[in-house]
Amino acid sequence: EIVMTSALEGQDVILRTKNRPPGVSGFVWYRGIEMNYYTLIASLTLHSRRSLRGPEYSGRETVNLDGSLTIRKVTVWDLGIYIVVAVLHNSQKEIGFGRLNVYRPVSVPTLLASNTTVTENEDAVVMTCYTDEISTNWLFNATRLRLRERIKLSEDHRTLTIDPVRREDAGNYQCKVSNPVSSIESVPVELYVKY
């Protein structure tokens, strides 16, 4: 079995095997869900330390002596399913599957407010976080925003509505966007509440 791995684009990654059987004489790595010559990345025979490369070899992959596969400077084109075959001394084979997820670094989101100076119990404010990322969270004065009946998020979590605004709502708001390997916060928007 291959340990599922997530990486940031441009990083070096090692796809590690787990539950490696005893008596392994070599390893063969494939990209995709089929095991054939066209999906072959590379193979390594342990006793001779001889390596063979296949059509899916890009010049960035190395099969290591422990059976893992190193991919240097991963790109989003590297994401997907990988297969490793452990060839045993008796010519039997053990097959493992795994997935590599590759993510681009997140971009700084833009946070805009409908109004930044409002009157207590009279006005509402709507803040929108502009981003392409999947995960959006909100911060109030650098800590996670607590939602209440007056403070609501849209279904996609990109729009925050405070209605009506109260004096305790005054302060700095940010949206924080993330993917599984990186996150970043917007520039703060300061809300002033007159009372």
pLDDT of 15-63, one tens digit each?
Answer: 999 888 888 999 999 999 999 999 999 999 999 999 999 999 999 999 9
CA 139 from centre of chain? 21
The per-residue pLDDT for 2 is 82
- Contact present, 36 and 90 (Cβ < 8 Å): no
Domain definitions of the chain by residue range: 5-103, 110-194
The per-residue pLDDT for 171 is 98
Amino acid at 19: N
Is the fold of 5-103 the same as that of 110-194?
Answer: yes
Domain with residues 110-194, CATH architecture:
Sandwich (2.60)
Q: Phi, psi at residue 74, to the nearest 5°?
A: -60, 150
Domain with residues 5-103, CATH architecture:
Sandwich (2.60)
Q: Which residues of the chain have pLDDT under 50?
A: none
- Provide the CB-side half-sphere exposure for 47 (13 A, CA): 6
The per-residue pLDDT for 4 is 85
